[in-house]
Amino acid sequence: MTDQTVALPAVPASAVEDVVRVEAVSRTFGKGKHAVHAVRDVSFTAGRGELVAVRGRSGAGKTTLLNLVGGLDRPDAGRIRVAGHDVTAAGERELLSLRRGTIGFVFQTFGLVPILSAAENVGVPLRLARVPAAEREQRVAVLLELVGLGGHAAQRPYELSGGQQQRVAVARALANEPDLLIADEPTGQLDSETGRSIMDLLRAVVHARGMTALVATHDPALIELADRTLTLRDGRLVPED
Ligand SMILES: Nc1ncnc2c1ncn2[C@@H]1O[C@H](COP(=O)(O)OP(=O)(O)OP(=O)(O)O)[C@@H](O)[C@H]1O
Ligand SMILES: [Mg+2]
């Protein structure tokens, strides 16, 4: 028999591996002389298994950039792709499904629902995705174990320390196995040691699961834990050296 193998056109590795592609993105708030150019002509990519820190002074544009990548806000110019989806061209319905399945969010203020237990909080995205109850419970248990809170499933947020609450928030962000984790100053409300343990956790998860993470932080100790750092100054990316 002849060899029937057909040579497929080579796909550049970068096209496959880049989970985040940001091309010439700008976002301006306000108009005229009151206009604030929060993000100006920013381009970068981030690959699978990469934890990328985004640093810069207060007002440099970190939150604005993360919100754009996560589809929480729309750029005035440029294009953003996450895991092959064009975030900039997506309609509301597609953005909602991206935010529920492809992208996980962790915020500085944790954002847990106060009346729900740790387990119920982690289960919220799974409920939204209509995962059946039995499977949901099992997945929640695995997630809580992963973030070191196996013994705290029944506790409400106010019965947990800040670091523990942020671990619950990380578990919730991971519930739907997103391709991209976006964390905006996830350690901002924690002491430095607890902050470091959260950053260690994020790093371990990103590397173990081949996810990608974009983490905005001011903290030099945490920047050291990142695989790569993007620096923003007045909305512009400072070239890497
Ligand atoms: N919704 C908005 N309306 C008007 N201006 C905004 C809005 N969001 C952000 N800005 C402005 O855009 C600039 C960048 O803000 P951004 O929140 O992205 O900074 P940041 O780097 O996250 O700062 P911080 O470290 O304090 O969180 C700031 O000048 C801010 O005032
Ligand atoms: Mg911010």
End-to-end Cα distance, the chain: 54
Instruction: Give the Å distance between the CA of 185 and the centre of ligand 1.
Output: 14
- 8 A C-beta contact, residue 222 and residue 187: yes
- What is the sign of the dihedral through the CA atoms of 157, 162, 224 and 234? positive
- How high is the mean pLDDT in each 10-residue block of the chain (241 residues)? 51 65 97 94 96 95 97 96 93 89 91 97 93 96 93 97 95 94 92 90 91 92 90 93 64
Ligand 1 atom closest to Cα of residue 60? 21
Instruction: Give the Å distance between the CA of 235 and the centre of ligand 1.
Output: 9
Ligand 1 atom closest to Cα of residue 218? 25
Tokens at 236, concatenated:
């512009």
Pocket of ligand 1 (CB under 6 A): 29-30, 36, 38, 56, 58-64
Q: How many whole angstroms separate alpha carbon 204 and alpha carbon 56?
A: 24
* Residues 6 or more apart in contact with residue 20 via CB below 8 angstroms: 44, 45, 46, 69, 80, 81, 82, 180, 212, 214
> Which of these, 32, 43, 50, 104, lies nearest to 72 by C-alpha position?
104
Tokens at 60, concatenated:
């440099």
> Which domains can be identified in the chain, with CATH numbers?
48-69+95-238 (3.40.50.300)
Sheet holding 77-82, edge to edge: 36-47, 18-29, 77-82, 85-86
Instruction: Give the Å distance between the CA of 65 and the centre of ligand 1.
Output: 9
- Residue closest via CA to ligand 1's atom 31 equals 59
pLDDT, position 39: 98
Enter the pTM of the model: 0.90
Ligand 1 atom closest to Cα of residue 56? 21
pLDDT, position 43: 97
